[in-house]
Amino acid sequence: MSESKQHLRAWQNAGLLDEETVSRIVAFESASRPAPSALPEERPGVIEAILYLGFVVAGAGIFFLVGNNWEQLTSWSRLMLVTTAAVLTLGAGAGMHLAAHPGVRRGGQAAWLLAVALSAASLAVAFNEYGGHQLGDERWQIVVVATATFALAMTLWAFAPSSLQVLAIAGATVFFAEALGAWPDEYSPRLAGLTIATTGAALLVLTELGVFRPVRTARVAAAALCGIGAFHAGVDSSLPWEFIAFVAGGALIGLGIWRASFTYVAVAVATLLVALITFMFEHFGGELGAPIALILSGGLLIGSVLVLVQVRTMIHRHRVAV
């Protein structure tokens, strides 16, 4: 018997409460007790840890085997080795997703994350070994590999939305954007950054519409893409482009306050902090000197933490009020 029930029974025995009142109190407390954040079988356990350890050990073995013998392999052997690993990983992930144990299903998510990388490697090896000049410029081949990687990541997420698949989509987005940035004769950080930021903005909209999920991971990934892309677009660009990161940070703060999401505000503050420090060192470092710039950077860092604490408190109060 719990301590609260013991107190209720003691009050009943003392004549302070009757049986019916005690029963109603017990029923109310049982119904209002918050559910545990995760059931025991849903929490990571020994089975899942062993599963991940197996992935790491097998992956390390394959990596060293391929690395030590790659030069001795023929083109056909190289392609078959990487492609077979990708297909087996995809199949293993699909089988794990059908398992009843939650830990095994999460292992399937990790397998599919690895499968996305192996599939990209397979296509890259195919172009490198057999593409030559018949399939076009090398930059075009990289764009094709990046596009296929992004499409596969989106497809696997559509079959089984999970945090690791969201991370795979974010990684594929950066890969695709960098491939586009390398398309011109001279690498364009502006094109790559705008591609990352635009994709991140689209994912933000899908997240808030409830399409892109899990929401918590999706918010982090989409907001990070917006911040990274906006900052990247301003690198080695003219002065107006350097302010895109500040615009993106301000927009994320507004979105975070509107949606009562501390995640958006945290990513926004990080974006603004990095952009401001970079801007200060680039344009005023020579005038202020490195020590003064570092002092100002430290002050900005402290100030950003204090702002985050205040915003988090405001968001928490808003949620409680709602």
Confidence of residue 40 (pLDDT cuts 50, 70, 90): very low
pLDDT of residue 141: 86
Give the SS3 label for residue 243.
coil
pLDDT in tens, 175-223: 999 999 998 888 899 999 999 999 999 999 999 999 999 999 999 999 9
Q: Which amino acid is at 214?
A: P
For residue 90, how far is the Cα from the chain centroid? 21
Mean pLDDT to the nearest integer, 40-65: 74
The answer on pLDDT for 158 being more than 60 is yes
Q: Which residues contact 95 (CB under 8 A, 6 or more apart)?
A: 108
Residue 149 binned pLDDT confidence (cut-offs 50, 70, 90): very high
In the chain, where are the structural domains located? Answer: 46-187, 195-322
Contact by Cβ (8 Å): 189, 167:
no
> What stretch of H or E contains 97?
helix 75-97
Please say whether the dihedral angle defined by the alpha carbons of residues 112, 116, 118 and 122, taken in this order, is positive or negative: positive
Q: Which residues, including other chains, have CB under 8 Å from residue 172's CB and lie 6 or more apart?
A: 116, 146, 149, 150, 152, 153, 154
Question: Out of 104-113, 117-126, 131-140, which region has the weakest mean confidence (pLDDT)?
Answer: 131-140
Best-predicted range by mean pLDDT among 60-64, 116-120, 270-274?
Answer: 116-120
227-239 pLDDT, tens digit each = 999 999 988 767 7
Nearest Cα neighbor of 248 from 237, 239, 256, 259 is 256
Asked which of 73-82, 92-101, 127-136, 181-190 is least confident by mean pLDDT, the reply is 127-136
Give me the chain's average pLDDT, please: 83
**Which stretch, 1-10, 17-26, 92-101, has highest mean pLDDT?**
92-101
More confident: 150 or 137: 150
Residue partners of 179: CB distance under 8 A and separation at least 6: 139, 142, 143, 145, 146
pLDDT band at 134; cut points 50, 70, 90: low
Which residues, at least 6 apart from 189, have a Cβ–Cβ distance to it below 8 Å? 181, 232, 233, 235, 236, 237
Range scoring the smallest mean pLDDT among 24-38, 199-213, 228-242, 276-290: 24-38
pLDDT in tens, 189-201: 999 999 999 999 9
